[in-house]
Chain A
Amino acid sequence: MSEKRPLRYGMFGAMMRSIPLFGRDPLVAADQVTDRALVAVIAILTFLAALTASAAQLTAATAMRWQVMMASEVTVQLKPQAGRSIDADIVRASDILRGTGGITSVKVLSREESAKLLEPWLGSASSIESLPIPRLITVQIDTRQPPDLTSVGKMLSDAVPGASLDDHRTWTKRLGHLSDLFLTASFGALLLVVMTTGLTIVFATRGAMAGNREIIEVLHFIGADDRYIAGQFQSHFAVLGVRGGLLGGGAALLLALTLKFSMMFPDGLPFSGISEMPILDWQTVFVTFGVIMLVGIVAGLASRITVYRTIGMLA
C-alpha cells in the first residue's frame, strides 16, 4: 500500500528539506522560465554589487594602509644655503632629530639618492651634479608616542636655516578625501543595484500573484490568512534571491581570485605594490557574502510588501 511508503522523502530528503534553499514545500507554483530568468537577473545584479562593494573595501583598506604608512614617516628637507656647508647642516639636523623622543630612526639620503628622486623631472645628465639639490632626511616615527611635529619643525628651522619638516599631512588629507569620495560613490552604486533588485522582485511578485490568483483564492477559502500567503511568496522569492546572489557572488569571488593570481604571477614575478593589495582576503569574502544576504533579504521583503499591497485587490 502506498501509505507504507515514506510519504515524502527519506532521512536525507528530510534533512535537505530543512535547508530553505534545497527543500521547500512551495504553495506558490514555480514558473521554471520566469524563475530562471529572475535568478539570472539577480545573479548579474549581485555580481555587479559584489564587485562594487569589494572594490570599495579594497580602496578603503589600501588607502588606510597608505595613510598609516605616510603618517609613520616624515621628511626633513634641507635647502642649500649660500655660505653654509650642507653636510654640516645635515649632521646638525640629524643630531637634533635623534635626540628627540618619539623618533625611532633617522636616515639621511645621500646626494645620489636625492638626485635620483629628481631624475623624472631633471633627467640623469651629469649637469645635475652642479645643481644645488636639496638633501632629504627620512624620519620614522613611533606612532604610539609620536613627537610634537610642530615644535620639532620649529626647532629644526631655528637651528638649521633652510631646513623644513614635511609631515605629509596634505597628501594624507587628499588621499583620505579621495578614498571617502570613492566609498560614497560605491555605496551609491550598491544602493542603486539593491534598489533595482527590489524593483525587479516587486514586478516578479506581481506577475507571480497574477499567475497564482486562483491558488491565492483557494488558500483564502481553506482558511489561510494574508500573513501565511505573504510568507509563501516571501519564502519563494527570498530563495530565488539567495540562489541568484550565490551565483553572482560566487562569480565575483572567482573573478577576484583570478585577478589576484594573474596580478601575482603575470610573468612569474609578483607586481610590486599591486600584489600587496588585499584582493580576496577574508574581508572581501565577508563583504561578498554580506551582499548575497542583503540581496536575499531585499528580495524577501520586497515580495512580502508587494503581496500585502496587492492581496487586497486580488481578494
Chain B
Amino acid sequence: MANQLSCCNGIEISFDPHHALTTLKKVEGSLQAFPYRSVGELVRFENVGLRYGVGAETLTDVSFSIEPQSFQFLTGASGTGKTTLLRLIMQALKPTRGTVVLFGQDTSLLEKDGLTALRRRMGIVFQDFRLLDHLTTYENVALPLKVQGRDEVTYRAEVTELLNWVGLGELIHAKPPILSGGEKQRASIARALVAQPELLLADEPTGNVDPSLARRLLRLFVEMNRSGTAILIATHDLGLMDQIDGARRLVLADRRLYVEASDV
C-alpha cells in the first residue's frame, strides 16, 4: 500500500502556532501515522454501555482510550455501532452506564459551558456532511472560527488557504446544493480542520467518493495527524485502512469493542 501511495506526491501540512496560518509543501513519501506519545489521553471510555429504551444494549462494556497525536480507525460491519460510538465521543449521546472522560474531564460532571469548550477541541466530519445550505463554502468552513467570536479579518486568509488546500479554491462562493458529493466531503473536512482541533472524528469520510479522491482525503488526515491532531476515522473500508501504516484499529463486533495493537 505504501508503494501505491509513494508514487503520488504527498502533501505536508504544518501550522504556525502563533498565527495559526496553514502552510503547505509537497514532499515525497509514504503515508505513515504519527508515532504515539502518551502525553495524556484525549478520550477514555471505561465500561461504557448504551441502551436505547428498554432493549438490549447497543454497546456493551466499551473501554478504550485515544492518545494525543494518534491515528486510529474505528471499523466494523454496518450497524455495529460505529456512528453511535462517535456520537458518544462528541457528546451527542449520553452513556447508559460507564464513564466517558474527554480531555481529562468526566463528561457526567460537565456543565453546558464546559461541553462547548470540549467540543471546540474536536473537529467532526459527518457522514452526511451537515453543511449549511444557505451559506457559501467559505462561510461553512469558517463557521467554527466565527462561532468562537473571531473577527473575519483574522481568519480570512487562513480559511481561503485551507480551501485551496482541499481543492475548493474555485468554489469558495458556491453553496452546498451545487457542490458534488466529493466537494461537500472536502468542505466538511476543511470545516473540521479549520480550528486545528486536538481530536478529529470522521464518520465514513470516504464513503461518498471514488477511490482516487478517497486516497487524497486520507492524505489530508495523515498530514493533519503529522501536525499533531489525533484522528479517529470510522469506516468499514478495509482497503482504506490498509493504506495507513501504523494506524491502530478499533473493531466493533457483537456490541463490543476490540482494540488491535498498533504496528508502531
Residues of A within 8 A of B (CB): 1-3, 7-8, 25-27, 29-30, 214-215, 217-226, 228
Known: A220-B119, A222-B124, A224-B147. Is A27-B132 also a contact (CB below 8 A)? yes
- Give the residues in chain B near A7, CB-CB below 8 Å: 138, 156, 160, 172
Could you tell me the distance between the alpha carbons of A25 and B146 in the complex, rounded to whole angstroms? 11
B215 at the interface (CB under 8 A from A): no
Q: Is the CB of A223 within 8 A of B132?
A: no
Is B35 in the interface zone, CB < 8 Å from A? no
Cα distance A138–B169 when bound, in Å?
88
Which A residues are in CB contact (< 8 Å) with B119? Answer: 220-223
Is A3 in contact with B120, judged by CB distance below 8 angstroms?
A: no
Can you list 30 A-B contacts with CB-CB less than 8 angstroms, sorted by A residue number?
Answer: A2-B169, A7-B138, A7-B172, A8-B152, A27-B132, A27-B135, A29-B133, A29-B134, A30-B134, A214-B130, A215-B132, A217-B92, A218-B132, A219-B143, A220-B116, A221-B90, A221-B124, A221-B130, A222-B143, A222-B144, A222-B191, A222-B195, A223-B119, A223-B147, A224-B116, A225-B112, A225-B113, A225-B147, A226-B112, A228-B147
Q: Which of A214, A222, A224 has the most CB of B within 10 A?
A: A222
1/0 contact string of B110-124 vs chain A (CB within 8 Å):
001100100110001
Residues of A contacting B169 in the complex (Cβ-Cβ under 8 angstroms): 1-3
Tally of A-B Cβ pairs under 8 angstroms: 63
Q: Taking beta carbons and an 8 Å cutoff, which residues of B are in contact with A?
A: 90, 92, 112-113, 116, 119-120, 124, 130, 132-135, 138-139, 143-144, 147-149, 152, 156, 160, 164, 169-173, 191, 195
B248 to chain A, nearest CB (A): 24
A225 partner residues in chain B, CB cutoff 8 A: 112-113, 116, 147
A2 to B173, CA, bound (A): 9
* Partner among A26, A215, A223, A226 whose Cβ is within 8 Å of the Cβ of B144: A223
A contact residues around B120 at 8 Å (CB): 223
List the A side residues contacting B138 at CB < 8 Å. 7
Chain B residue numbers with a CB within 8 Å of A8 are 152
Please give, as numbers and ranges, the residues of chain A lying within 8 Å of B90 by CB-CB distance.
221
Q: Which residue of B lies closest to A222 (CB)?
A: B144
A30 to B135, CA, bound (A): 11
Q: Sorted from nearest, which 8 A-B pairs have the closest CB atoms?
A: A223-B120, A224-B147, A225-B116, A29-B134, A222-B144, A3-B160, A218-B130, A223-B119
Cβ contacts under 8 Å, A30 to chain B: 134
Cβ of A2: which chain B residues have Cβ within 8 Å of it? 169-173
Residue of B nearest to A215 (CB): B132
